[in-house]
Chain A
Amino acid sequence: MMRLVRGFAVLVAATLLAACERPPIDSVQRGYRGTGMDQVYNPRLIAAAAPANALPADSPMVPPGGPAASTVFKNVKVVGDLGVGEFTRLMVSMTAWVAPDQGCTYCHKAGEDFSSDALYTKVVARRMLEMTRHINTDWKTHVAETGVTCYTCHRGQPVPSNLWFAPPVDTHAATMLGNRAGQNAPAPSVGVASLPNDPFTPFLDQGNEIRVIGQTALASGNRQSTKQAEYTYGLMMHMSKSLGVNCTYCHNSRSFAEWDTSTPQRATAWYGIRMARDLNTTYLDPLAGVFPANRLGPTGDVPKLNCATCHQGAFKPMYGASMLKTHPELAGVRVALAAPAAAASAADAGASAPAR
């Protein structure tokens, strides 16, 4: 009997201590002393996550130049400005980044010409190339000079591990204990809080107002509600979890709204939210008719991206390591060649000079 009781006590203690992390921990001061603006890291968890956030092996760069891909190949619509060598290397890299196990035939139908668009994956990949160039050229306010590649999201998998879909509509009656109204359940999307668990549709697909705090001390026309504040909190929980940081990475929590007391990272995040909206609405939502049914969400929507898609728990994807230095083609620096006339003249010039 005593042994049973003792065993039960050990079990209870182990259950209660299961979520404990042992010291020492690392903390990074990110605000004026005494304000509590610190990031706290468990160095053992950081070390365990490091391999997943390392840069992948890359193929050696090829000299630019040679005939433009658009003049050599039949159906090149996005990266026709690349030289044939660069083009081939990009195809090899994309295979390694997105479909290393499936190989070239993940996007090119076996037995057909490479120019064929028979597989939906090639249609999507072409759009994703456009999206990557768009991010690297037009969203430097968020990605700066680090930029993104296919690997930033895909990490060697055809389907990135952090995507989101619109949740299915709750068909329970909207009565007590019936309809959860999109909240009141421990949701991983909002850090296992009971906050509204789909902050993505209103904020990262649609452009709803995130700000709820009024600009004046007294009530003067701010009609934002507590419920809207909870939606904002849900989004903020997602951002915090996605970047592996706490609120004070961007905010001084004594005034979440005030930009004067926020950190510079909040401005980067502001552009990041706009970038996510732009990418979801411009590049992913229009792919609705392209994806097969098994790639769609419970309500039939396309997979969409959020902060976690790239960041994957790190303050910068892959801790800020950039692949644009070895893949300048994804930053769109060949844009001068993109025009047909320029492509033609480049073809005329042969291998002589890359137009940079």
Chain B
Amino acid sequence: MGTGSITAYIDVAQVALYAFWVFFAGLIYYLHREDKREGYPLESDRSGGRIQVQGWPSVPAPKTFLLRDGRVVLSPNFRETTQTLGGSPSAAHLGAPLEPHGDPMLAAVGPGSYSDRADIADTTVDGDLRIVPLRAAPSFEVAHRDPDPRGLPVIGADGAIAGTVTELWVDRAEVLFRYLEVEVPAAGGGRRVLLPINFARIGDQQVNVRSILAAQFAQVPATRHPDAVTLLEEDKIMGYYGGGTLYATPARQEPLL
């Protein structure tokens, strides 16, 4: 028997390997429990609420996040949404997709849905507002070698002019632009809406938006305060542009073939 043998068949290598398998099984079990800190227990159509569907392993005990502003967040938190579902199943069988009610751009379902985030603005480590327009953060400006989109027209997916960029909103904690503020013509003398920078393609002459049509800029959710945006408002704004990827034109819902 060579070095490392325990019996004629068992040796240190296979003991170490089996020890690793045992550890690895435990690690996978642990990671799957951590997986279930959001979205569990599942919503099930089958038992009518009598059975808590959580699979195996079970949902872990809640752990506590103590936030800087003193709030306490549990995970999992078992919170129920206050939103009313803006759609209904398109068929009677289980797993049928939802059809939005009314104007799909405003139904907040599918790609247009948003989550129940806190209705307060995010702050920097110093407690200042984190995402603010440049007019409220004079120490920031556009890099000199990059195009400054302020004053450029915003073009919707249909090629029509939706409005004009009037301001940029900067993330003061991570120093990058998060939103374009767009002046949209409206009955009462113009309305200012936010355009997430990830939905915009900034050119030298214009700013293109693929997700929604020019006319649909009129219904972008507004912010309560002209110089601040809350987490919930951010999600609603993103959701509106996201909804456009499927609902902006009827053709976007059709199969290719």
Contact = CB atoms under 8 A, between A and B. Distances in A.
Q: Do A and B come from one complex?
A: yes
B5 interface: yes
Interface string A204-235: 00000000000011111000000000000000
A131 B11 CA distance: 53
Contacts of B3: 218-220
Interface string B1-15: 111110000010000
Interface of B: 1-5, 11
Nearest to A222: B2
Contacts, number: 14
A interface: dominant SS: loop
Contacts of B11: 217-218
A216 B4 CA distance: 12
A217 B5 CA distance: 10
Task: Name which of A216, A217, A218 has the most chain B CB atoms within 10 A of its CB.
Answer: A218
Contacts of B1: 218
Interface string A36-73: 00000000000000000000000000000000000000
Contacts of A218: 1-5, 11
A293 B5 CA distance: 58
Contacts of A217: 2, 11
B88 to A, nearest CB: 54
Contacts of A219: 2-4
B204 to A, nearest CB: 18
12 contacts: A216-B2, A217-B2, A217-B11, A218-B2, A218-B3, A218-B4, A218-B5, A218-B11, A219-B2, A219-B4, A220-B2, A220-B3
Contacts of A216: 2
Contacts of B5: 218
A218 B1 CA distance: 8
A72 B11 CA distance: 76
A132 B3 CA distance: 49
What 6 pairs between A and B have smallest CB-CB spacing? A218-B2, A220-B2, A219-B3, A219-B2, A218-B4, A216-B2
Nearest to A216: B2
